[in-house]
A = this chain, B = another copy of it.
Amino acid sequence: MPRTPDWFTTDEYRARLAQTRDAMERLGLDLMIVSDPSNMCWLTGYDAWSFYVHQCVVIGPDGPPIWFGRGMDAAAATRTCWMEDESAFIGYPDHYVQTPERHPMDYLWATLADKGWHRGFIGVEMDNYYFSAKAYAALREGLPEAQFLDATGLVNWQRAVKSDKELAYMRRAAAITERMHRRIAEKIEPGIRKCDLVAEIYDAALRFDEAEGYGGDYPAIVPLLPSGPDAAACHLTWDDAPMRANEGTYFEIAGCYHRYHVPLSRTIYLGQPAQRFLDTEKAILEGMEAGLEAARPGNCCEDIATAFFGTLDRYGIEKDSRTGYSIGLSYPPDWGERTMSLRRGDETELRAGMCFHFMTGLWMDDWGYETTESFAITDAAPEIFCNLPRKMLIKT
Protein backbone atom coordinates (compact mmCIF):
# COMPACT_ATOMS: atom_id res chain seq x y z
CA MET A 1 0.00 0.00 0.00
CA PRO A 2 2.58 2.59 -1.05
CA ARG A 3 1.40 6.15 -0.78
CA THR A 4 4.46 7.68 -2.32
CA PRO A 5 3.64 7.31 -6.01
CA ASP A 6 0.83 9.77 -5.33
CA TRP A 7 3.39 12.31 -4.14
CA PHE A 8 6.22 12.00 -6.67
CA THR A 9 7.12 9.64 -9.48
CA THR A 10 9.84 7.06 -9.04
CA ASP A 11 11.67 8.87 -11.83
CA GLU A 12 11.76 12.02 -9.71
CA TYR A 13 13.18 10.07 -6.78
CA ARG A 14 15.80 8.48 -9.04
CA ALA A 15 16.81 11.88 -10.33
CA ARG A 16 17.19 13.16 -6.75
CA LEU A 17 19.34 10.17 -5.92
CA ALA A 18 21.57 10.70 -8.96
CA GLN A 19 21.91 14.38 -8.14
CA THR A 20 22.88 13.51 -4.56
CA ARG A 21 25.44 10.96 -5.74
CA ASP A 22 26.99 13.64 -7.97
CA ALA A 23 27.33 15.90 -4.95
CA MET A 24 28.82 13.04 -2.94
CA GLU A 25 31.35 12.42 -5.66
CA ARG A 26 32.39 16.07 -5.70
CA LEU A 27 33.07 15.78 -1.97
CA GLY A 28 34.86 12.46 -2.43
CA LEU A 29 32.31 10.46 -0.45
CA ASP A 30 31.88 6.71 -0.82
CA LEU A 31 28.88 6.59 1.43
CA MET A 32 26.44 9.06 2.93
CA ILE A 33 24.43 8.65 6.13
CA VAL A 34 21.40 10.93 6.03
CA SER A 35 19.75 11.59 9.42
CA ASP A 36 17.64 14.66 8.66
CA PRO A 37 14.00 13.46 8.33
CA SER A 38 13.39 16.06 5.61
CA ASN A 39 16.29 14.72 3.60
CA MET A 40 15.19 11.15 4.26
CA CYS A 41 11.72 11.97 2.93
CA TRP A 42 13.06 13.84 -0.09
CA LEU A 43 15.28 10.90 -1.04
CA THR A 44 12.90 8.03 -0.30
CA GLY A 45 9.39 9.34 0.43
CA TYR A 46 9.61 8.07 4.02
CA ASP A 47 6.96 9.81 6.07
CA ALA A 48 6.20 8.86 9.68
CA TRP A 49 6.60 10.45 13.10
CA SER A 50 9.44 8.11 14.05
CA PHE A 51 12.31 10.61 14.20
CA TYR A 52 12.28 10.46 17.99
CA VAL A 53 14.34 7.26 17.65
CA HIS A 54 17.55 6.91 15.66
CA GLN A 55 17.05 6.29 11.97
CA CYS A 56 18.69 7.28 8.71
CA VAL A 57 18.92 6.70 5.00
CA VAL A 58 22.18 5.29 3.68
CA ILE A 59 23.31 6.16 0.16
CA GLY A 60 25.83 3.54 -0.88
CA PRO A 61 28.00 3.45 -3.96
CA ASP A 62 25.18 1.99 -6.04
CA GLY A 63 21.62 0.73 -5.81
CA PRO A 64 18.62 2.37 -4.19
CA PRO A 65 18.82 4.25 -0.88
CA ILE A 66 18.66 2.06 2.20
CA TRP A 67 16.15 2.93 4.92
CA PHE A 68 17.49 2.14 8.39
CA GLY A 69 15.24 2.46 11.43
CA ARG A 70 13.47 0.86 14.31
CA GLY A 71 12.09 -2.57 13.40
CA MET A 72 8.51 -1.58 14.10
CA ASP A 73 8.80 1.36 11.70
CA ALA A 74 9.77 -0.78 8.72
CA ALA A 75 6.06 -1.23 8.05
CA ALA A 76 5.71 2.54 7.65
CA ALA A 77 8.84 2.61 5.49
CA THR A 78 7.67 -0.02 3.01
CA ARG A 79 4.35 1.84 2.78
CA THR A 80 5.81 5.26 2.08
CA CYS A 81 9.16 4.73 0.30
CA TRP A 82 9.61 4.22 -3.43
CA MET A 83 12.17 1.43 -3.11
CA GLU A 84 10.71 -1.97 -3.91
CA ASP A 85 13.51 -4.33 -2.98
CA GLU A 86 13.14 -5.75 0.52
CA SER A 87 16.87 -5.40 1.07
CA ALA A 88 16.43 -1.62 0.99
CA PHE A 89 14.85 -1.75 4.46
CA ILE A 90 16.82 -2.55 7.60
CA GLY A 91 15.09 -2.53 10.96
CA TYR A 92 16.91 -2.80 14.26
CA PRO A 93 15.54 -4.75 17.25
CA ASP A 94 13.52 -2.89 19.85
CA HIS A 95 15.95 -3.43 22.72
CA TYR A 96 18.21 -0.84 21.03
CA VAL A 97 15.60 1.85 21.66
CA GLN A 98 16.35 4.51 24.29
CA THR A 99 18.74 2.60 26.47
CA PRO A 100 22.29 3.39 27.54
CA GLU A 101 23.15 -0.31 27.18
CA ARG A 102 23.44 -0.30 23.40
CA HIS A 103 23.03 2.14 20.55
CA PRO A 104 21.14 1.82 17.25
CA MET A 105 24.28 3.06 15.49
CA ASP A 106 26.06 -0.09 16.72
CA TYR A 107 23.54 -2.03 14.69
CA LEU A 108 24.10 0.26 11.74
CA TRP A 109 27.86 -0.01 11.64
CA ALA A 110 27.67 -3.79 11.94
CA THR A 111 25.28 -3.78 8.99
CA LEU A 112 27.53 -1.52 6.95
CA ALA A 113 30.54 -3.70 7.76
CA ASP A 114 28.62 -6.76 6.54
CA LYS A 115 28.18 -5.03 3.21
CA GLY A 116 31.87 -4.23 3.04
CA TRP A 117 31.11 -0.52 3.51
CA HIS A 118 33.31 -0.13 6.57
CA ARG A 119 36.10 1.90 4.99
CA GLY A 120 36.52 4.87 2.71
CA PHE A 121 34.96 8.30 3.13
CA ILE A 122 31.60 8.43 4.87
CA GLY A 123 29.56 11.62 4.92
CA VAL A 124 27.47 12.39 8.00
CA GLU A 125 25.21 15.32 8.86
CA MET A 126 27.27 16.55 11.81
CA ASP A 127 24.97 19.44 12.66
CA ASN A 128 21.53 17.94 12.36
CA TYR A 129 19.09 17.55 15.29
CA TYR A 130 18.77 13.87 14.62
CA PHE A 131 22.47 13.01 14.52
CA SER A 132 23.50 13.14 18.15
CA ALA A 133 27.04 13.35 19.51
CA LYS A 134 26.57 9.80 20.77
CA ALA A 135 25.44 8.49 17.37
CA TYR A 136 28.63 9.85 15.84
CA ALA A 137 30.80 8.43 18.62
CA ALA A 138 29.23 4.97 18.16
CA LEU A 139 29.83 5.04 14.38
CA ARG A 140 33.41 6.18 14.73
CA GLU A 141 34.17 3.51 17.25
CA GLY A 142 32.53 0.82 15.15
CA LEU A 143 34.14 1.79 11.85
CA PRO A 144 37.75 2.64 12.70
CA GLU A 145 38.87 2.19 9.09
CA ALA A 146 36.41 4.76 7.78
CA GLN A 147 37.08 8.48 7.44
CA PHE A 148 34.12 10.61 8.41
CA LEU A 149 33.44 13.88 6.64
CA ASP A 150 30.98 16.55 7.66
CA ALA A 151 28.32 16.59 4.95
CA THR A 152 25.76 18.72 6.82
CA GLY A 153 23.55 20.34 4.24
CA LEU A 154 24.78 18.26 1.31
CA VAL A 155 21.31 16.86 0.65
CA ASN A 156 19.55 20.06 1.79
CA TRP A 157 21.40 21.96 -0.95
CA GLN A 158 20.15 19.50 -3.58
CA ARG A 159 16.63 20.50 -2.51
CA ALA A 160 17.17 24.22 -3.08
CA VAL A 161 15.69 24.38 -6.59
CA LYS A 162 12.16 22.96 -6.56
CA SER A 163 10.69 20.77 -9.28
CA ASP A 164 7.36 21.63 -10.91
CA LYS A 165 5.61 19.11 -8.70
CA GLU A 166 7.21 20.55 -5.59
CA LEU A 167 6.18 24.05 -6.61
CA ALA A 168 2.64 22.78 -7.12
CA TYR A 169 2.68 21.47 -3.54
CA MET A 170 4.04 24.78 -2.29
CA ARG A 171 1.09 26.51 -3.95
CA ARG A 172 -1.32 24.15 -2.22
CA ALA A 173 0.38 24.86 1.10
CA ALA A 174 0.05 28.58 0.31
CA ALA A 175 -3.70 28.26 -0.24
CA ILE A 176 -3.89 26.65 3.21
CA THR A 177 -1.82 29.47 4.71
CA GLU A 178 -4.24 31.99 3.23
CA ARG A 179 -7.18 30.15 4.75
CA MET A 180 -5.47 30.15 8.14
CA HIS A 181 -4.85 33.90 8.10
CA ARG A 182 -8.36 34.64 6.86
CA ARG A 183 -9.77 32.57 9.69
CA ILE A 184 -7.69 34.48 12.22
CA ALA A 185 -8.86 37.81 10.83
CA GLU A 186 -12.44 36.62 11.01
CA LYS A 187 -12.35 35.22 14.54
CA ILE A 188 -10.03 37.51 16.45
CA GLU A 189 -11.60 39.96 18.89
CA PRO A 190 -10.99 41.10 22.45
CA GLY A 191 -12.00 38.31 24.81
CA ILE A 192 -11.37 35.34 22.54
CA ARG A 193 -9.06 32.97 24.34
CA LYS A 194 -5.79 32.37 22.63
CA CYS A 195 -6.10 28.58 22.82
CA ASP A 196 -9.49 28.85 21.08
CA LEU A 197 -8.00 30.95 18.34
CA VAL A 198 -5.29 28.30 17.88
CA ALA A 199 -8.02 25.66 17.58
CA GLU A 200 -9.44 27.78 14.73
CA ILE A 201 -6.01 28.02 13.13
CA TYR A 202 -5.59 24.24 13.18
CA ASP A 203 -9.09 23.79 11.84
CA ALA A 204 -8.30 26.01 8.85
CA ALA A 205 -4.92 24.30 8.40
CA LEU A 206 -6.23 20.76 8.30
CA ARG A 207 -9.79 20.52 7.01
CA PHE A 208 -10.55 19.26 3.54
CA ASP A 209 -11.37 22.10 1.21
CA GLU A 210 -14.14 20.91 -1.06
CA ALA A 211 -13.47 23.55 -3.70
CA GLU A 212 -9.73 22.86 -3.83
CA GLY A 213 -10.03 19.13 -3.23
CA TYR A 214 -7.45 18.56 -0.52
CA GLY A 215 -6.76 18.80 3.20
CA GLY A 216 -3.71 19.83 5.20
CA ASP A 217 -0.74 18.20 6.89
CA TYR A 218 0.85 19.23 10.21
CA PRO A 219 3.23 22.20 10.03
CA ALA A 220 6.74 21.66 11.39
CA ILE A 221 6.27 24.51 13.88
CA VAL A 222 3.14 25.22 15.91
CA PRO A 223 1.44 28.64 15.66
CA LEU A 224 3.38 31.49 17.24
CA LEU A 225 1.16 34.34 18.38
CA PRO A 226 2.51 36.52 21.18
CA SER A 227 0.60 39.68 22.09
CA GLY A 228 1.40 43.10 23.45
CA PRO A 229 4.73 43.20 25.30
CA ASP A 230 5.17 39.44 24.73
CA ALA A 231 5.41 40.16 21.00
CA ALA A 232 8.88 41.44 21.79
CA ALA A 233 9.77 37.76 22.04
CA CYS A 234 9.90 35.52 19.02
CA HIS A 235 8.88 31.88 19.30
CA LEU A 236 6.41 32.10 22.16
CA THR A 237 3.43 29.83 21.57
CA TRP A 238 0.08 30.41 23.38
CA ASP A 239 -1.77 30.27 26.66
CA ASP A 240 -5.47 30.11 27.49
CA ALA A 241 -5.98 33.75 28.47
CA PRO A 242 -8.43 36.04 26.64
CA MET A 243 -7.02 38.43 24.07
CA ARG A 244 -7.04 42.05 25.12
CA ALA A 245 -8.00 45.30 23.47
CA ASN A 246 -5.21 47.74 22.63
CA GLU A 247 -2.63 45.08 21.96
CA GLY A 248 -0.91 43.98 18.81
CA THR A 249 -0.38 40.29 18.05
CA TYR A 250 1.63 38.77 15.25
CA PHE A 251 0.71 35.40 13.84
CA GLU A 252 3.60 33.37 12.49
CA ILE A 253 2.13 30.25 10.93
CA ALA A 254 2.51 27.97 7.92
CA GLY A 255 0.22 25.87 5.82
CA CYS A 256 1.61 22.45 5.00
CA TYR A 257 0.80 20.07 2.16
CA HIS A 258 2.64 16.77 1.72
CA ARG A 259 5.28 18.19 4.12
CA TYR A 260 5.84 21.33 1.94
CA HIS A 261 5.53 24.55 3.92
CA VAL A 262 4.60 28.11 3.13
CA PRO A 263 5.16 30.20 6.28
CA LEU A 264 3.66 33.65 6.55
CA SER A 265 3.22 36.24 9.29
CA ARG A 266 0.67 38.97 9.72
CA THR A 267 0.04 41.39 12.59
CA ILE A 268 -3.36 42.33 13.99
CA TYR A 269 -4.02 45.19 16.33
CA LEU A 270 -7.17 45.21 18.45
CA GLY A 271 -7.67 48.92 18.78
CA GLN A 272 -5.78 51.89 17.48
CA PRO A 273 -2.03 51.22 17.28
CA ALA A 274 0.50 53.78 18.42
CA GLN A 275 2.24 55.81 15.74
CA ARG A 276 5.47 53.79 16.19
CA PHE A 277 3.60 50.71 14.91
CA LEU A 278 2.44 52.55 11.81
CA ASP A 279 5.84 54.11 11.18
CA THR A 280 7.55 50.76 11.52
CA GLU A 281 5.05 49.16 9.20
CA LYS A 282 5.68 51.79 6.56
CA ALA A 283 9.42 51.11 6.70
CA ILE A 284 8.99 47.36 6.59
CA LEU A 285 6.56 47.38 3.69
CA GLU A 286 8.85 49.64 1.72
CA GLY A 287 11.84 47.46 2.59
CA MET A 288 9.94 44.38 1.58
CA GLU A 289 9.18 45.89 -1.83
CA ALA A 290 12.85 46.71 -2.25
CA GLY A 291 13.85 43.20 -1.25
CA LEU A 292 11.35 41.58 -3.60
CA GLU A 293 12.64 43.80 -6.38
CA ALA A 294 16.09 42.30 -5.79
CA ALA A 295 14.77 38.74 -5.76
CA ARG A 296 15.83 38.00 -9.32
CA PRO A 297 17.93 35.19 -10.77
CA GLY A 298 21.53 36.25 -11.05
CA ASN A 299 21.34 38.32 -7.88
CA CYS A 300 22.33 36.64 -4.66
CA CYS A 301 20.73 36.12 -1.25
CA GLU A 302 22.49 39.06 0.33
CA ASP A 303 21.13 41.40 -2.35
CA ILE A 304 17.65 40.86 -0.99
CA ALA A 305 18.89 41.46 2.55
CA THR A 306 20.86 44.55 1.55
CA ALA A 307 17.87 46.07 -0.21
CA PHE A 308 15.67 45.44 2.82
CA PHE A 309 18.15 46.55 5.47
CA GLY A 310 19.03 49.59 3.37
CA THR A 311 15.44 50.78 3.54
CA LEU A 312 15.27 50.17 7.30
CA ASP A 313 18.52 52.09 7.74
CA ARG A 314 16.99 55.10 6.03
CA TYR A 315 14.17 54.96 8.58
CA GLY A 316 16.67 54.59 11.41
CA ILE A 317 15.50 51.09 12.25
CA GLU A 318 18.01 48.44 13.16
CA LYS A 319 17.34 44.73 12.72
CA ASP A 320 20.16 42.51 13.89
CA SER A 321 18.83 39.17 12.64
CA ARG A 322 18.73 37.55 9.24
CA THR A 323 15.72 38.46 7.15
CA GLY A 324 14.77 35.11 5.71
CA TYR A 325 15.73 31.58 4.80
CA SER A 326 15.02 28.88 2.25
CA ILE A 327 11.87 26.79 2.65
CA GLY A 328 10.28 23.64 1.29
CA LEU A 329 9.90 20.09 2.57
CA SER A 330 10.26 19.90 6.32
CA TYR A 331 9.71 18.11 9.60
CA PRO A 332 9.76 19.44 13.16
CA PRO A 333 11.40 21.31 14.72
CA ASP A 334 12.06 23.66 11.76
CA TRP A 335 10.21 24.60 8.60
CA GLY A 336 13.33 26.17 7.13
CA GLU A 337 15.60 24.24 4.79
CA ARG A 338 18.81 25.24 6.63
CA THR A 339 20.84 26.24 3.59
CA MET A 340 20.49 29.82 2.38
CA SER A 341 19.87 32.80 4.63
CA LEU A 342 18.81 36.26 3.52
CA ARG A 343 21.64 38.03 5.32
CA ARG A 344 24.74 40.00 4.50
CA GLY A 345 27.52 37.65 3.47
CA ASP A 346 25.31 34.99 1.90
CA GLU A 347 26.47 35.12 -1.70
CA THR A 348 24.43 32.19 -2.98
CA GLU A 349 23.23 32.99 -6.46
CA LEU A 350 19.47 33.03 -6.82
CA ARG A 351 18.06 30.55 -9.30
CA ALA A 352 14.53 30.00 -10.57
CA GLY A 353 12.73 27.49 -8.37
CA MET A 354 14.39 28.50 -5.10
CA CYS A 355 11.85 29.29 -2.38
CA PHE A 356 12.23 31.63 0.60
CA HIS A 357 10.43 32.94 3.62
CA PHE A 358 11.19 36.66 3.62
CA MET A 359 11.16 37.14 7.40
CA THR A 360 10.93 40.86 7.84
CA GLY A 361 9.77 40.72 11.48
CA LEU A 362 10.92 43.23 14.05
CA TRP A 363 11.05 42.58 17.77
CA MET A 364 11.41 45.70 19.87
CA ASP A 365 11.80 46.13 23.62
CA ASP A 366 8.14 45.76 24.49
CA TRP A 367 6.32 45.07 21.24
CA GLY A 368 6.77 43.28 17.94
CA TYR A 369 5.57 43.40 14.35
CA GLU A 370 5.71 40.77 11.65
CA THR A 371 4.47 40.89 8.11
CA THR A 372 6.28 38.51 5.82
CA GLU A 373 6.02 36.89 2.40
CA SER A 374 7.07 33.54 1.04
CA PHE A 375 8.07 33.43 -2.60
CA ALA A 376 9.71 31.45 -5.37
CA ILE A 377 12.40 32.84 -7.61
CA THR A 378 11.29 32.72 -11.26
CA ASP A 379 12.92 33.88 -14.49
CA ALA A 380 11.38 37.30 -13.88
CA ALA A 381 9.66 38.79 -10.82
CA PRO A 382 9.31 36.41 -7.86
CA GLU A 383 6.16 34.35 -7.52
CA ILE A 384 4.62 35.47 -4.22
CA PHE A 385 2.84 32.43 -2.84
CA CYS A 386 0.07 34.05 -0.82
CA ASN A 387 -2.28 36.80 -1.73
CA LEU A 388 -3.05 38.56 1.54
CA PRO A 389 -2.99 42.27 2.40
CA ARG A 390 0.37 43.07 3.96
CA LYS A 391 -0.79 45.91 6.13
CA MET A 392 -1.60 45.27 9.74
CA LEU A 393 -5.27 44.52 10.28
CA ILE A 394 -6.66 47.11 12.65
CA LYS A 395 -9.79 45.86 14.36
CA THR A 396 -11.41 48.42 16.62
Q: Which residues of A contact B (CB under 8 A)?
A: 1, 3, 47-52, 71-73, 75-76, 79-80, 93-95, 97-101, 103, 124, 126-137, 150, 152-153, 193-196, 198-199, 202-203, 206-208, 214-218, 221-222, 224, 229-230, 232-240, 320-322, 325, 332-334, 336, 338, 341, 343, 345, 363
Distance in angstroms from A223 CB to nearest chain B CB is 9
A206 contacts which chain B residues (CB < 8 A)? 195-196, 198-199, 202
- Among B152, B320, B333, point to the contact of A49 (Cβ < 8 A): B333
Q: Let me know if B207 and A195 touch, CB within 8 A.
A: yes
Q: Which residues does chain B contribute within 8 Å of A132, judged by CB atoms?
A: 126-129, 131-133
Residues of chain B within 8 A (CB-CB) of A320 are 71, 93-94
Give A340's nearest chain B residue, CB to CB: B98
The answer to whether B133 touches A124, judged by C-beta atoms less than 8 angstroms apart, is yes
CB-contact partner of A137 in B50, B126, B130, B235, under 8 A: B126
A168, chain B: closest CB distance, angstroms:
16
The answer to whether B133 touches A76 (Cβ under 8 A) is no
Chain B hits for A135, CB < 8 A = 127, 133
Q: A198 to chain B: which residues have CB within 8 Å?
A: 206
Q: Give A346's nearest chain B residue, CB to CB.
A: B99
Q: Which of A101, A127, A130, A236 has the most CB of B within 10 A?
A: A127
Rounded to whole angstroms, the CA-CA distance of A132 and B153 in the bound complex is: 14
Give the Cβ gap from A84 to chain B, nearest Cβ, in Å: 17
Cβ contact within 8 Å between A240 and B222: no
Among B49, B134, B216, the residue within 8 A (CB) of A126 is B134
Task: Please state if B48 and A94 are interface contacts (CB–CB under 8 Å).
Answer: no
A–B pairs, 18, beta carbons within 8 Å: A3-B239, A48-B234, A48-B237, A52-B333, A72-B234, A73-B234, A76-B233, A94-B321, A98-B338, A126-B132, A126-B134, A133-B137, A194-B215, A199-B203, A199-B207, A202-B203, A215-B240, A333-B333
CA distance A99 to B363 in the complex (A): 22
Q: Are A235 and B325 interface neighbours, CB within 8 A?
A: no
Known: A129-B129, A150-B134, A152-B100. A236 touches B195 (CB 8 A): no
Say what secondary structure dominates the interface of chain A: loop
Q: Are B130 and A233 in contact (CB under 8 A)?
A: no
What 5 A-B pairs have minimum CB-CB distances, sorted nearest first? A195-B215, A215-B240, A133-B136, A52-B334, A127-B134
Closest Cβ neighbor of A216 among chain B residues: B195
Is there contact, CB below 8 Å, between A133 and B127? yes
Residues of B within 8 A of A332 (CB): 332-333
For A204, give the chain B residue with the smallest CB separation: B199
CA distance A232 to B3 in the complex (A): 15
| Contact assessment for B133 and A79 in the assembled complex, using a CB-CB cutoff below 8 Å | no
CA distance A250 to B87 in the complex (A): 29
Establish whether residues A235 and B48, one from each chain, have CB atoms under 8 Å apart when the complex forms.
yes
Judging by beta carbons under 8 Å apart, are A130 and B129 in contact? yes
Residues in B with CB closer than 8 Å to A129 are: 52, 129-130, 132
A232 to B79, CA, bound (A): 10
Set B94, B196, B322: member contacting A94, Cβ < 8 A: B322
Residue of B nearest to A195 (CB): B215
Given A135-B127, A333-B49, A343-B95: A218 in contact with B222 (beta carbons within 8 A): yes
Q: CA A50 – CA B321 in complex, angstroms?
A: 14
Given A94-B322, A133-B135, A341-B99, decide whether A75 and B199 contact each other with a Cβ distance below 8 A. no
On whether the beta carbons of B233 and A322 are closer than 8 Å, the reply is: no
